[in-house]
Amino acid sequence: MLINCAAYANGRKLADLPVADISDYVEHSDAFVWVALRDPDPAELDEMKREFGLHELAVEDARKGHQRPKIEEYGDSLFCVLHLLELSGDELAVGEVAIFVGANYVLSVRNHSEQTFHSVRERCEREPELLSHGASFVFYALMDAVVDRYFPIVDLLETELETIEEQIFAKGTARANIERLYALKRKVMVVRHAVVPLLEASAKLHGGRVPKTCVNSQEYFRDVYDHLTRINASLDAARETIGTAIQVNLSMVTIEESEVNKKLAAWAGIFAVATAFAGIWGMNFKAMPELQWEYGYPAAIGVIALTCFVLYRRFKHFGWL
């Protein structure tokens, strides 16, 4: 599905284009074409391949989807894959945008995501002095928009983690907390899978041998790299905290089980004493004086009750009951 197709020159929009005219504008060195597609079918991608002269391997990756975030060079052009993250209920939905960048064109192909980039186009068109940098600035603006959308998700994950931490020492919540922590850990890993590969890939856009397409926009891509570094640091801190919280909760489960075992052992000890007395007086030997004594039965019951009471108080004193 074609979302937008427009030509720009000197920071200003020239016109909306039909797809068939793309190749004509791409040939002009003083203009560039910006096209946005959403969930395109193979025929649309093949048409874009012909109009822009895209590399076959890059088009194949965009067609198949489910790629690891990356930035690859194909001659004088770049191919970038970014993950689009959206919170859907309690789960993180993962979409994808593939971006083709050349000297005179930018093509974005969005798949499996409801996120749009209308605000990015509006921002670029409001800043003609920046848009005059050409396709490289549009590429930066798209990357920056995707990365900035990671921040609210990281904030929500940190808030959820803080909520769980507040309940760690609440009695009877350890097992439920462990389940929530593991679910949170999965979300953090989803975000890391989007950030870490991109952190490595974006480093080459602002230092060392910078691709020709991005030479005039290195400082902007350095800003994206800084944002990714901050997000990655937050994710590492969250992972460490989650790991610690899981260990604490496992310890709480062990402590709760130990408390139960102590109570069971205390009651077992009390009943063992009572059973021992009953066993002795239940042997019915003829020479046992208690059997012939008028008060033998109540005395035996009294001794058993008194002994059990003393044991109960002692266990209570030591915190076993």
**Amino acid identity for residue 179 in this structure:** E
Domain boundary among 142, 173, 197: 142
Distances from the Cα of 194 to the Cα of 53, 92, 98, 175, 222, angstroms = 28, 12, 13, 30, 18
Q: What is the mean pLDDT of the chain?
A: 86
Distance CA(156)–CA(87), nearest Å, equals: 10
Count how many domains the chain has.
2
What pLDDT shows up at residue 214?
81
Q: Which of 7, 36, 40 is nearest to 22 (CA)?
A: 7
Question: If you average pLDDT over residues 286-291, what whole number do you get?
Answer: 67
Beta strand 77-88 with 91-102: parallel, antiparallel or unpaired?
Answer: antiparallel
Is 193 among the domain residues? no
Is 223 among the domain residues? no
Structure token pair of residue 227: 């944002």
Distance CA(317)–CA(144), nearest Å, equals: 64
Is 198 among the domain residues? no
Domain that residue 269 falls in:
255-317
Q: Name residues whose C-beta falls within 8 Å of residue 232's C-beta, 6 or more positions apart in sequence.
A: 192, 195, 196, 199
Distance CA(83)–CA(78), nearest Å, equals: 17
Structure token pair of residue 120: 């990015």
Distance CA(171)–CA(160), nearest Å, equals: 19
Q: Which CATH number do you get for residue 28?
A: 3.30.460.20
Domain boundary among 142, 177, 203: 142
Percent of the chain with pLDDT over 70: 96
201 touches 123 (CB < 8 A): no
Question: If you average pLDDT over residues 270-284, what whole number do you get?
Answer: 76
Q: Which of 247, 211, 240, 6 is nearest to 106 (CA)?
A: 6
* Model confidence pLDDT, tens digit, residues 38-96: 999 989 999 999 888 889 999 999 988 888 999 999 988 899 999 999 988 788 899 99
Q: How far is CA 63 from the centre of its chain?
A: 26
**Does the structure show a pLDDT above 80 at 28?**
no
**Does the structure show a pLDDT above 70 at 290?**
no
Is 123 among the domain residues? yes
